[in-house]
Each structure stands twice: as C-alpha cells, then as structure tokens.
Structure 1
Amino acid sequence: MDSDSLFYLQNQFYLGNYKYLCDNPLPPKSDPSYLATVCYTARSHIALKNYSAALSLLGSDTSPPSRALTSLAKYLSATGDDKDTYLEELRDLCIEVEDGFEGDSEDGAGAGVVKVVAATAFSAEGEVEEALTTLGAGCKSRDIECVALIVHIYLSIARPDLAKKEYEAAKKWADDSLLIQMVEAAIGLAVGSRTLQTAQYIYAEQVSAPGSSTNPAILTAKGISHILLGAYSDADNALNEALTIDPKYAEALAAKVTLAELKGKKGEVDEAISRLQSSHPDYILLKDLTEKESAFDAAASQFTLSSEA
C-alpha cells in the first residue's frame, strides 16, 4: 500500500466512515503500512462496538499501539472489576511510550495513538482529568489526534472556551489538515452563532469528497448543522440519506428525534424515538428522556389538583 492509500484510509477514519475501513482488505504483512492499517481497522471495529473482531484482528501483536487497542477493546467489553485491570494496562503503556517509543497519531501506529486510546478509556470511565493530562491538554500538544480528543472532551463538559484555545494553538501548525477542519466544525456546532455557517460549509464540502456518499456519519453531521441553522428541510434530506445507507445509524435517528420535535410533529417524534429504542435502547438521548420523565413525575407528585371551584 502506498502512502496515498494510507492517507485516504486515515481520512476515512477521521470522517467516521468505519464500515469502509472494516471492509477494506489489509495489505501484506511485509508492507510498511501494515501495522498502521491494522490499527485504523481495529479502531473502526471498536467504534462500531465489534470488540471481538478488533481483538481477532490485533491478535498477539506486541507493539504498544496494538496492545493499547487490545486493552481498550477488552475494557469496553468488560464488566465490574475487570475494567480496572485494563485501565492499569493502559496507564502502564502510557509510561512505556514516554520512554522512547516514537511517532505521533498521524503515523497511524505511533505513541500518539497509545495516548488517544488510553484517554478514550479514561474518559469513558469518568476520569476526565486523567484523560486530559494523558493527552497533554494545556501543554500545546503537537499531536493532531490528541488535540481533537482534548477538544471533544472539553465540549462534552461544556467548556467551549478551553476547546477553542486548544484549536487556535493547533491551527498554527496543523496546516489545515482534515482533522483540524473537523475540530473547527465541532466547535462551530457547539458554540453556534457565526461559526455555524463555517461548520455547515465544512460538512457540505466533505459530503462531496470521494468515499463520503456512503458515509452516514458525515451526512448526519451535515444534517445537524442544518438543524442548528433552522434549515429543517435540508436537515431532513441529509438525515434521510444517512438512514438510507444505514437504517440503524444511532446519531441520525437521534437527530431525527430532535428535528421532529422542533418541527412540532408529535407523530414523527414518537416514530423516531421508537426506531432509536428498537436499535439502541441504551442510547444517551433515551436515558436522558427517561431521567427527565422521572424527574417530572416526582415533581408532579408533590402537587394535588384542588377540587374546589
């Protein structure tokens, strides 16, 4: 596999086109890009929650990135105290790569990948500070994937101000790479106002890029940008296109719930929620709705309607 082919695979990974990577054949083991391709493919399987497929692909490879991905897949599929074992493995690997293992995340199989993989597990465990420290938050990291995950974490804890600082620092050296564009678009969706139009432009441009016509992730992102801009018809078209590719794509189904609610279409809201419940009963939006319903019922129970005229 030549460098252009690996670069294309990398971009598809950054765009969330995980199924494409999972279906893509691996190069020969003698190929210099073999390990990087395996790592991108394993990460794609993990993103799709196909943990056993990722573990089978990684096998017994002893490189730090492969071991980190193995620990992540096992962590995500484990329960109870077993999770702690894999978190410790990831902590040990972070120390190991600080001690001489070279390469950043853009190599596909460098030390940066280990840090991103470990921080992903720490964040999932609720150890946000540990995740940010691992990634080098506030230290002007020059690893693009580390920066992207730092931004994602800051946005998830409602700190767009810190996310923008990381982005602005990285923009000076990232040379307008695809991932830095995705970071800019994500911040645009979170912050709103004038940055929304920039986000919509970035997603629209990527939808027309090679390989994106079958990528529900980028179509869904485009649809969400239209929702936030109030272009509901355009949003519906993009989300329907994403669901035509993958009828069970969780983010598109969740966006359809929001869109239907904004349009005031009660029947469409119920249908979208039903589809989401059928395919992804543990999706965060459904959990949030259940919690809100319980909170409302608890509050309502404190009051009694008066029968007096």
Structure 2
Amino acid sequence: MSDIDDFYTARNLLYLGAYPQALANLSGLPRTCNELELKSLQYRAYLGQGNTALVLAEIPPTSHPTLLAIRHLALNDAAGTQTLASDAANQQSATFAAIAAQTLASAGLTDDALRLLDQHPRSLECVLLTVAIYLTIDRVDLAQKLVARARTWSDDAPLAQLAEAWTALAQGKVNEAHYALLELAQASSVDTVRLYCALAVTKMHLAQYAEAEALLQSALEKDPNHPDTLANLAICASLSANSAARARYLSQLAHAAPAHPFLLDLDMAGARFDAALAQVK
C-alpha cells in the first residue's frame, strides 16, 4: 500500500479540523508506514489542538527538514522557513511544500508560498492550500480554474470538495457552498469547529443569522477560545444589530488572539475613518 493510501484518512481529518480523530487514525496504522509522514501529520494535529509546547519539545533544531518546517510553523518563523525552502531537495517533497507554504503565506510571502506549492500539482494538499491563497489575494478566477482542473483527477476527495466549497462561497454561490460543506461533514462523520464556522459563514451570507449563531455556539462549546469562532460571532452580532454581544465577543477575541486579522482589519478601518474625519474638519 502506498504512503498516500496509508495517510489518506488522517490527512482529510487534519484539514477538516478533526484532530483527535486524525491522531487516533494515525495510531492505528501499521508500523511499516512512512515514519516521517506519520510524524508530520501527528505534529500538525498537535499544533491544531494548540499543543505547541509538545511540538517544540519533540522537534529539535537538528531534525529532518520536513519536521523542521513544522517547528518553524509553530514559531511563525518565516525566515527559517525561507532558508529551508531555498534547498531544491526540500522542495521536492509535497508534504514539506504544504507545511512551509502555510508559514510563508501567513507572513504575507504569498509568491514564495505559491512557487513551492506549484511544484506539486497532483498533491491535493498543495492544491487546497493554493486555492486558499488565491482566495486570500482575491484571485477567485485562478482558484476556480485550479478547482476545475483538480476535479478531473481528484475523484471527489474531501480536500478537493473543501476547495470547491471555499471557491463557490467566494463566487457568491452560497447554497452550493453550504451543501458541499454539509455533505462533507456527513460523509466524514465529524462535527468540528472548522466545519461549524464554515457552515455559519454560509448562513450569514444567506442572512440566516439565528442559524449561523447556533452553529457558532456549537463551535464555541467545543473550543471556548477559538479565535475564528469569536470573530464570526462578532460579525454575526453586528449583522443582527446586537451591539452588546458584538462588544463581548470582540473583547474575548482580543484576549484570545490580539493579533487576529479581523481585529487588525478593524483597527485599520478605524484609523482610515479617523484620518478621513480629520480632513473634513
């Protein structure tokens, strides 16, 4: 059995945010499976659970480049990641590319991230991350083309379905995105914070704010300090004209993740408004 077959389920669970299930699946794999790939998925699942200390303790600076990429991901170390990514041998690994690209993209180095990912057009993990970056930089057209190409060979794999759902939402095809996410959740038999948040976003786009809030509250029960859940709850409260709830969620978000992009965008918008107001006076 190939490595891809061995880790297919665990990788899907990882990207759906089902970290305990991914770890449980990995623990049941045969000893003959690729140990490096096994560890890379385990450590990323631990990071997803917020267990950064464990990851840093178990991945010393002398580790294999793929594991070092995870260490840099945990530390948000873009400079260290760039050094690793400059080695052509490291670039040949789709797993390394996927991990390193996340760190680079988070640091705003989207061109570097895309160059890495582009070398692995048949890796669904790399395709999904490329789509995510395209959507972040408002290149929905490129995301749509990549999803269409992947559809010809991905056989409705969960990661391909996730990419399709994200792209459909960006295109304004909200119902299509919602049902794709719902089908994905049902097929994988998991209910994760990530899926709850994604489904809630589709509900907000449909102006179904009560249903969106219910989904987000379910996510909050699983993780009371999950930054994206709190950010979406603040947005939902704004759309529902509930200023008290909005202030409460923003306060929680500022405590849980003071550098969250939503808060940074709010600060930037406030600064622009103050500057415009000063010009009027």
TM-score by shorter chain over 0.5? yes
1:232 aligns with 2:209: yes
1:242 aligns with 2:219: yes
What residue in structure 1 maps to residue 52 of structure 2? Answer: 51
Deviations, residues 78-128 of structure 1 (Å, cap 9, x unaligned) = 67xxx5344212221xx1156xx6xxxxxxxxx211121222233233222
1:198 aligns with 2:167: no
Deviation of 1:180 after TM superposition, in Å, equals: 0.4
Written as runs of structure 1 = structure 2, the 5 A alignment for 1:43-82 is 43-48=44-49, 50-58=51-59, 66-74=64-72, 76-77=74-75
Residue 86 (structure 2) aligned to one of 67, 79, 91 = 91
Contact 1:261 1:269 in 2 (8 A): yes
Quick one: which amino acid aligns to residue 168 of structure 1?
Answer: A
Written as runs of structure 1 = structure 2, the 5 A alignment for 1:152-171 is 152-171=132-151
Residue 183 (structure 1) aligned to one of 163, 169, 174 = 163
Structure 2's unaligned 5+ residue stretches are none
Deviation of 1:72 after TM superposition, in Å, equals: 4.1
The change in CA–CA distance for 1:164 and 1:210 in structure 2 (over 3 A counts) is closer
Q: SS at 1:208's partner residue? A: helix
Deviation of 1:226 after TM superposition, in Å, equals: 0.8
Superposed CA RMSD: 2.9
Deviation of 1:19 after TM superposition, in Å, equals: 4.8
Distance 1:90 1:152 in 2: 20
Deviations, residues 217-256 of structure 1 (Å, cap 9, x unaligned) = 1111111111112221211111111111111111111111
Query: Percentage identity across aligned positions?
Result: 26
When the two structures are aligned, how many residues end up with a matched partner? 280
The change in CA–CA distance for 1:24 and 1:60 in structure 2 (over 3 A counts) is farther
Quick one: which amino acid aligns to residue 104 of structure 2?
Answer: F
Distance 1:40 1:46 in 2: 10
Structure 1's unaligned 5+ residue stretches are 102-110, 305-309
Distance 2:33 2:26 in 1: 15
What residue in structure 2 maps to residue 121 of structure 1? Answer: 103
Contact 1:6 1:33 in 2 (8 A): no
Contact 1:43 1:69 in 2 (8 A): no
1:151 aligns with 2:99: no
Distance 2:202 2:67 in 1: 32
Deviations, residues 120-158 of structure 1 (Å, cap 9, x unaligned) = 233233222222122117xx9122111111111110000
Quick one: which amino acid aligns to residue 127 of structure 2?
Answer: V
Q: SS at 1:163's partner residue? A: helix
Quick one: which amino acid aligns to residue 257 of structure 1?
Answer: A
Deviation of 1:209 after TM superposition, in Å, equals: 4.3
Contact 2:14 2:22 in 1 (8 A): yes
